[in-house]
Structure 1
Amino acid sequence: MPTPSSQRSPWRYLRDADVLHAAVVTLFAVVLSGGIVWIGYVVHVWRTARRAPTTLPGRWVVLVFGRQLVADEPEHDYRGRLARALALLRGRIASRVLLLGGRSSGSRSEAEAGHAWLQGQGLPADVPIELEQESVDSLENLRHARGLLQGGDRAEVLPPVALLTSRYHLARCLLLARRLGFDGHAVAAEDALPRTPRYLALLLMEATYLMWIDLGVRWARLTGHRRMAARIS
């Protein structure tokens, strides 16, 4: 349950009492279950990653999640997300695109770098592209996207959205989006689930993040800890 910060590093969360509370609850759940709880989240993340489609029928508002830049340019995973977004644009699947991501390092935001990359690849000129440049993590991405789509009016109904990101990242984005009131649908950047040691490590890391967030919120609701539960709302 992250809080706003100018730094992307996950270690910044350890300064937050609610996040530490959720971590302790999660650790107890893993220990008491003999690791079975964590394995359940691993299976869920893997299934979501494996089954996600690369396109959707109809026309969609597409949210493209950024990733930390390398030398002010999109790195491999981010380029994959942008390439999928470009395919949706060219296929007339995307009616509106939001590029999500603030400045995590360097001189420009992830959204700005992504937009420049798309323009270099022949971005169609007739589809609205909006840049969300204030966020540094997935929860902030979605909060700011919600504000842009609602135009500052929380009473306005959110449109269904396509959540476009790397396969390993989809389960967490879907959970957060649904907690924030989105009707979110997964769209995978990669054609198929990669079978590499790096990708396995990313899936395991995502399962841990997802478990931490989900169990923390469930515990907060169970115990009536309103401030902690409100962190994802």
Structure 2
Amino acid sequence: MVRRLAVPQPFSQRNPWRYLRDADVLHAALVTLLAVALSAGTVWLGYVVHVWRIARRAPITLPGRWVVLVFGQQLVADEPGHDYRGRLARARVLLREGAAGRVLLLGGCSGGTRSEAEAGHAWLRGQGVPADARIELEQESVDSLENLRHARGLLQGGDRSDVMPPVALLTSRYHLARCLLLARRLGFDGHVLAAEDILPRTPRYLARLLMEATYLMWIDLGVRWARLVGHRRMAARIS
């Protein structure tokens, strides 16, 4: 059974440069740079250690049946790339084992002709999933924050007073810490679930971990600063 969340036409496009025109994002960036400079980089190292610990310790399965949120990734020639296929493969295992009672594939259009969620669903169908698998497609989001906002709306059925079930956040190990932070800010009872069996030790993966630590620091320090100085609009960006 597949349910698709309505997709606006044309698709929303993934465009990270749009954030550089956002005053609140630039404000958070300035605060982050000052924190790094004043701490001689130790603040950033603390976030690196945090991201690495979550990446290393994350489980690959959870007891019971879960609502599983599978985070998309920019497609390669309209097909899931290496990391996204790893996330989908883990979701397939959970579906076949009965550990995923409901799977939400998250991700809008990242530059091609179809959404990340649609491409992920096609990949799962090609690999074979149980006929009664409950899979839903969220195709409006263009980043991790929007992934979670739209998933929240889907789970609540449009009523924010509804209690959401605990969710498993399924993504690549380097991406888990940021998704967990955002999920908790948005009110999820989120639990990390890793795509890879173990933490890869390659230069590419290390670069991903370092980049994620930077993103996480930027988000976390920006929100903390906004709350400290009473900047309500800036603090509300992640809510």
TM-score tier by shorter-chain length is over 0.9
Aligned counterpart, 1:230:
236
Aligned partner (choices 124, 127, 134) of residue 128 of structure 1: 134
- Aligned residues of 2:173 and 2:199 also touching (Cα < 8 A): yes
Aligned counterpart, 1:204:
210
Aligned counterpart, 2:192:
186
Q: How many angstroms apart in 1 are the aligned matches of 2:28 and 2:157? A: 32
**Residue 163 of structure 1: how far off its partner (Å):** 0.2
CA deviations on 1:49-76 (whole Å, 9 max, x unpaired) are 0000000001100000000001110000
Aligned partner (choices 50, 73, 76) of residue 79 of structure 2: 73
Q: Post-superposition, which runs of at least 4 consecutive aligned residues in structure 1 deviate over 6 A?
A: none
Q: Give the AA of the match of 1:80.
A: G
Q: Give the AA of the match of 2:13.
A: Q
Three-state SS of the structure 1 residue aligned to 2:76 is coil
- Where structure 1 has 5 or more consecutive residues not aligned to the other structure, the ranges are none
- Where structure 2 has 5 or more consecutive residues not aligned to the other structure, the ranges are 1-10
Q: Does 1:49 align with 2:55?
A: yes
Three-state SS of the structure 1 residue aligned to 2:104 is strand
Q: Does 1:60 align with 2:85?
A: no
Q: How many angstroms apart in 2 are the aligned matches of 1:17 and 1:116? A: 38
Aligned counterpart, 1:16:
22
- Aligned residues of 2:62 and 2:99 also touching (Cα < 8 A): yes
Aligned partner (choices 93, 96, 108) of residue 102 of structure 1: 108
Q: CA RMSD in A?
A: 0.9
**Residue 12 of structure 1: how far off its partner (Å):** 1.6
Q: Give the AA of the match of 1:75.
A: G
Q: How many angstroms apart in 1 are the aligned matches of 2:70 and 2:178? A: 14
Q: How many angstroms apart in 2 are the aligned matches of 1:78 and 1:68? A: 8
- Aligned residues of 2:167 and 2:191 also touching (Cα < 8 A): yes
Q: How many angstroms apart in 2 are the aligned matches of 1:107 and 1:201? A: 29
Percentage identity across paired residues of the two chains: 86
Q: How many angstroms apart in 2 are the aligned matches of 1:8 and 1:220? A: 26
Q: How many angstroms apart in 2 are the aligned matches of 1:181 and 1:68? A: 26
Aligned partner (choices 142, 146, 170) of residue 140 of structure 1: 146
TM-score, normalisation: structure 1 = 0.97
Q: Does 1:34 align with 2:50?
A: no
